[in-house]
Structure 1
């Protein structure tokens, strides 16, 4: 039997995928990532988090690899701790999204990720423990006025679960942005048209002459589906969202059972 070549690039989500539930990278996972890199694979973390929220993770993996952050809007080099590319939402599109969603979802809360901080309107519920750069202002109009740039637009509703809210957002705002969610309760994330984890990863790979069938990907949430569908080999975590499990043929162990590491060990050790 001919052994297929090892992947040239490993693309993995962080929360719910590579990270354990306590937010750490296990020793086993760190060793497996280093073995993959030593075996010639590029390591790319594809995450909804902004660069400032992966600093402690970068330290845990020895500043190995590159991070595609904010669902594809920001590309960040871990070794040099610098942003190398951004794909922001246009101000006009953000304004149109805010107007449409405010009309269709009375009582919803809004915020933006600027790449530097989160700016939230009063009434936006979510807070992230790993992120202290969270500013609250009176209205969504103030949010848009103060935003240095808009890497991602958030809509949140206390009255909806994320799956039905995502369908509602897509129905009314799809012409202005790419709607998805990464598991936050009642929270939808909207990127610029054409911006996703997969589109940014595809561009990154094309620049390096890496074909989709040379990419191995891991994920657990709807915002990972495009990457899992694009990569030549893809694994949904055992703890993944039902839609991700249904759409992905291969399943890895859970994030708390070092699922990513177990697959990498078979390929690189």
Structure 2
């Protein structure tokens, strides 16, 4: 199995999948490898990428909260975050960092309160504002992630503050970040990319030693550590570069393709 993150890893800076990398993925599939996308992104982003690049197969989305069948656009399994837990964690985090704004990711939409001012052009059709922070906790839609954002505090500082300052509420959730500016991502306790990928592999009879993984951000560390072979991208976060012994070149230089071509031979035509 080839397990790859998307942003900063498989995709270039402009969000596209290069023809070289696409050819390398197809050569690996022809050789018998299964390609699994393992991303912080929700299914709606994977759908757009799949349409543009002709991808099929399985994706582990929302940092492990969802397993998604790309071809049928179906959520196969989910591990959601209870809204009551999200509210407790947000309250504790706001006590430590009062300027932080909050949003709830559902996989289909982002519900956000007024203090959450992060806007992504690719999500303009999925954004749903609510009138106040209190209104955020009234949703009855399953939640995949609580998002905390600040325009003044970087993601590393947010992550450290959350882990150190949230107290007991932090034992109910998983904190991480994927490099978004000032963006902290919070999932149900125990939900990680590696945990979900491990369950997926167990169902397929694939051992961790048979998995090659690629990533660039702190939320990828669990996968890069769990997989038999993990590669940090040349553009990876310093903590990832320090923790992962095997490196490839950057996403802009088709680092995933470099490794796959070495393992599976020259790419075939797309």
**Which TM-score band (shorter chain)?**
over 0.9
Q: How far, CA to CA, are the matches of 2:186 and 2:222 in structure 1? A: 15
Q: Where does 1:184-203 land on structure 2 (aligned, <5 Å)?
A: 184-203=180-199
Paired residues of 1:73 and 1:191 also in contact (CA < 8 A): yes
**SS of corresponding position for 2:16:** coil
Post-superposition Cα deviations, 1:59-114, rounded to whole Å, max 9, x if no partner, equal 24423221100100111111222111111012221121122112221121000101
Partner of 1:208: 204
| Partner SS, residue 174 of structure 1 | helix
Deviation string, structure 1 residues 167-200 (Cα, Å, up to 9, x no partner): 1112214212100000111110000001011110
Give the stretch that moved more between structures: 132-141 or 174-183: 132-141
Q: TM-score, normalised by structure 1?
A: 0.94
CA distance in 2, matches of 1:214, 1:60: 29
Q: Is the 8 A contact 1:215 1:232 kept in 2?
A: yes
Of 149-158 and 51-60, more deviation after overlay is shown by 51-60
Aligned: 1:239 with 2:235: yes
- List 4+ stretches of structure 1 deviating above 6 A: none
Q: Does residue 40 of the first structure (1) align with residue 32 of the second (2)?
A: yes
Return the alpha-carbon distance in structure 2 between the equivalents of residues 147 and 100 of structure 1.
Answer: 22
Number of matched pairs: 261
1:201 is displaced (CA, Å) by 0.3
Q: What's the Cα RMSD here?
A: 1.1
- Please list every run of 5 or more consecutive structure 2 residues that lacks an aligned counterpart in the other structure: 266-270
Matched with 1:222 is: 218
TM-score relative to the length of structure 2? 0.94
CA distance in 2, matches of 1:98, 1:12: 30
Give the whole-Å Cα distance in 1 for the aligned partners of 2:52 and 2:231: 23
- Distance in 1 between the 2:23 and 2:163 partners? 40
**1:116 is matched with which residue?**
108
Say if 1:114 and 1:147, in contact at 8 Å, map to a contact too. no
Give me the whole-angstrom Cα distance separating, in 2, the residues matched to 1:50 and 1:217: 19
Match of 2:135 in 1: 142
Change (3 A) 1:212 1:100: same
User: 3-state DSSP class of the match of 1:150?
Assistant: coil
Q: 1:21 aligns with which of 13, 21, 25?
A: 13
Structure 1 unpaired stretches of 5+: 1-8
